């Protein structure tokens, strides 16, 4: 709460290191989960720099100061600037520690035994990235606020761009296999195929046609 964002903790069974994706506004719940499962984060990865996806960074870095904080290069400035990360508009003034590493298109990020391919997906935020894991069947995409079940990320923020978001989805996400699971930043999981067929903003109901 209050934005009902999703945080993902990804790890292989039997391992004690993990990846924390988009730690949000309830960091205590994340810390409790990690303690309960005897997990330590090998990296903190933010898909983008909006406040509801970075608010838990400080608590995690305080507990594990050597754990690298990773974000797309285009959104790194948002971590430390409440105006850019939109928290100031809500009277919260949230800041995060700065990035230890930035990611860009075509990078391959490895941590906790996970190998993640990085795609730049601007539109909701200029520096937004998504991360694709091909080590499972079906593949899994940590999608942040790009594509939701039946919806898409907001583009009415100061640096949002609907046309850019639509291109990101059509040219990058919709090229993935239909059974790819999308772990979205808000709401339930979905699949690429489901959104191609049914999404009213970017899918076939909105005129999308497979090439």
pTM across the whole model:
0.96
For 150, residues 6+ apart whose C-beta sits below 8 A from its C-beta are 190, 195, 198, 199, 200
CA dihedral 110, 116, 120, 124 (to 10 degrees): -110
Q: Provide the pLDDT for residue 137.
A: 97
3-class secondary structure, 117: strand
Say which CATH number the domain at 95 has: 3.60.15.10
Q: Provide the pLDDT for residue 177.
A: 98
Domain hosting 161: range is 8-206
Evaluate whether residue 123 is within a structural domain: yes
Evaluate whether residue 178 is within a structural domain: yes
Evaluate whether residue 1 is within a structural domain: no
Ramachandran category for residue 38: left, alpha or beta (phi over 0 → left; psi -120 to 50 → alpha): left
Evaluate whether residue 17 is within a structural domain: yes
Q: Provide the pLDDT for residue 211.
A: 66
Q: For the chain, which ranges sit under pLDDT 50?
A: none
Evaluate whether residue 2 is within a structural domain: no
Q: Provide the pLDDT for residue 2.
A: 73
Evaluate whether residue 18 is within a structural domain: yes
Residue in this structure with the two tokens 């990296």, named with its chain if needed: 43
CA 139 to CA 69: how far, in whole Å? 24
Reported residue count of the chain is 211
Q: Provide the pLDDT for residue 174.
A: 98
Evaluate whether residue 200 is within a structural domain: yes
Evaluate whether residue 211 is within a structural domain: no
Contact, 143 vs 151, CB < 8 A? Answer: no
The β-bridge relationship of strands 181-184 and 151-152 is: unpaired
Within 95-146, strands assigned E span 101-103, 108-111, 114-120, 129-133, 140-144
Q: Provide the pLDDT for residue 26.
A: 95
Q: State how many domains the chain has.
A: 1
Q: Which two tokens stand for residue 6?
A: 């999703």
CA dihedral 203, 47, 121, 173 (to 10 degrees): -40
């Amino acid at each position: 709460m209050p934005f009902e964002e999703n945080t993902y903790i990804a790890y292989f069974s039997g391992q004690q290191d993990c990846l924390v994706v988009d730690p949000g506004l309830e960091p205590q719940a994340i810390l409790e989960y990690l303690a309960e499962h005897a997990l330590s984060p090998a990296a903190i990865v933010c898909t983008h720099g909006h406040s509801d996806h970075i608010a838990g960074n400080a608590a995690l870095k305080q507990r594990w100061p050597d754990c690298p904080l990773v974000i797309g290069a285009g959104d790194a400035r948002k971590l430390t600037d409440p105006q850019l990360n939109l928290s100031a508009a809500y009277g919260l003034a949230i800041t995060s520690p700065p990035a230890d590493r930035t990611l860009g298109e075509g990078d391959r990020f490895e941590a906790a035994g996970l190998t993640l391919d990085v795609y730049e997906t601007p539109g909701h935020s200029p520096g937004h990235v998504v991360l694709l894991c091909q080590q499972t069947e079906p593949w899994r995409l940590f999608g942040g606020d790009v594509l939701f079940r039946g919806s898409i990320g907001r583009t009415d923020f100061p640096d949002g761009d609907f046309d850019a978001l639509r291109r990101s989805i059509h040219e990058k996400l919709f090229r993935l296999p239909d059974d790819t699971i999308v772990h979205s930043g808000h709401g339930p999981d979905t699949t690429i195929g489901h959104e191609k067929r049914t999404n009213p903003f970017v899918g076939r109901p909105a005129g999308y046609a497979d090439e």
